Structure 1
Amino acid sequence: MKIRILTIGQKMPAWVITGVDDYLKRIQPFVQTQFVELPMAKRGKNDSDADILKYCQIEGEAILNAMKGNEILIALEVNGREFSTEKLAETMQSWMLDGQDIVLAIGGPDGLSQEIKRAAAWHWSLSKLTLPHPLVRVMLIEQLYRAMTINHNHPYHRA
């Protein structure tokens, strides 16, 4: 099993790069994990709703084009299912047993396109709160790492 995180947007602040890199190093012994940054569609100052839809579609196409044939798509979105860390660990254990390669999609500032939402096997919400995209990256990789430590009886997670 491999996990790829396809995320819209580049040029993250230093604290994001530091946090993501730290957890990426930690998680590798448990599961091969990779971030793939895809370019955000160029936006204007006074964009219409139609413009925003177009940007989401462009970014959605980039995500779909970056996927490999054997990967299962999971969309990260506010209206998705919420999991406890323990339930995430159980879910990841299932992915590993099934040998499924997973893609987690983080959309741009306007969210994910309808094409991504339809293509996703399931939808996951880290929180019902609106979170800044840079923070989502750090939270996501930390929770994936935490779930893997639960599955490997590592002392990082203390309930």
Structure 2
Amino acid sequence: MRVHIACIGRLKNGPERTLFDRYADRIGKAGRSVSIGPLSVSELAESRAQRDDDRKAEEARALLAAMPSGAVIIALDETGKTRSSTSFCEDLVRLRDAGTADVAFVIGGPDGHGPALLKAARLSLALGPMTWPHQIARVLVAEQIYRAITIASGHPYHRA
């Protein structure tokens, strides 16, 4: 099952990029044994529309267009469900075992997601009750995908 992250905003060079790249590399290597990965990323520009509703709608259209056809969409949203790492792993394994070819984690812009994207998402997932900058959210998602792979493979990385 291929894994995608589609996001509004670009990750510049720096510590967040270094950490993200480390997890992306680990996903590519460790994921082979459990048929999860590799990871690809689509970075899209923030909308310049004046109204926030217009920005969200424009960004939702761009994000949806950037995903592979038929991908299961998981929207990262502050109002989404919180999951334990183990539950998150179970969700990914269930998708893989159901024959899902592509899963896409979607990170919106500063205004959040437009209704079209939230409607298309199979799941809205929160990274806790706090709001995170998209750079950190991207690192957290990559780390949790890697953690899920290690849980699925029985690797000792996850010690809960």
TM-score by length of 1: 0.91
Residue 152 of structure 1: aligned partner: 153
Aligned residues: 153
Distance between the aligned counterparts of 1:58 and 1:103, measured in 2? 18
Give the root-mean-square deviation of aligned CA atoms. Answer: 1.3
The correspondence of residues 135-146 of structure 1 with structure 2, limited to 5 A, is 135-146=136-147
Q: Amino acid of the residue matched to residue 138 of structure 1? A: V
Q: Amino acid of the residue matched to residue 57 of structure 1? A: A
1:85-113 Cα offsets, whole Å, 9 max, x none, are 01011111111112211011100011100
Contact map agreement 2:11 2:135 (CA 8 A) in 1: no
Contact map agreement 2:23 2:142 (CA 8 A) in 1: yes
Residue 70 of structure 2: aligned partner: 70
1:3-29 Cα offsets, whole Å, 9 max, x none, are 110000014351111011000000112
Q: CA deviation at 1:68?
A: 2.1
Distance between the aligned counterparts of 2:11 and 2:132, measured in 1? 18
1:12-58 Cα offsets, whole Å, 9 max, x none, are 35111101100000011202111111111126xxx5xxx11111111
Contact map agreement 2:3 2:104 (CA 8 A) in 1: yes
Residue 15 of structure 1: aligned partner: 15
The correspondence of residues 28-107 of structure 1 with structure 2, limited to 5 A, is 28-29=28-29, 30=31, 31-42=37-48, 51-100=51-100, 101-107=102-108
Distance between the aligned counterparts of 2:118 and 2:70, measured in 1? 18
Distance between the aligned counterparts of 1:42 and 1:132, measured in 2? 19
Distance between the aligned counterparts of 1:155 and 1:134, measured in 2? 27
SS at match of 2:75: strand
TM-score by length of 2: 0.90
Residue 114 of structure 1: aligned partner: 115
Unaligned runs of 5+ in 2: 32-36
Contact map agreement 2:8 2:44 (CA 8 A) in 1: yes
4+ residue runs of structure 1 moved beyond 3 angstroms? none
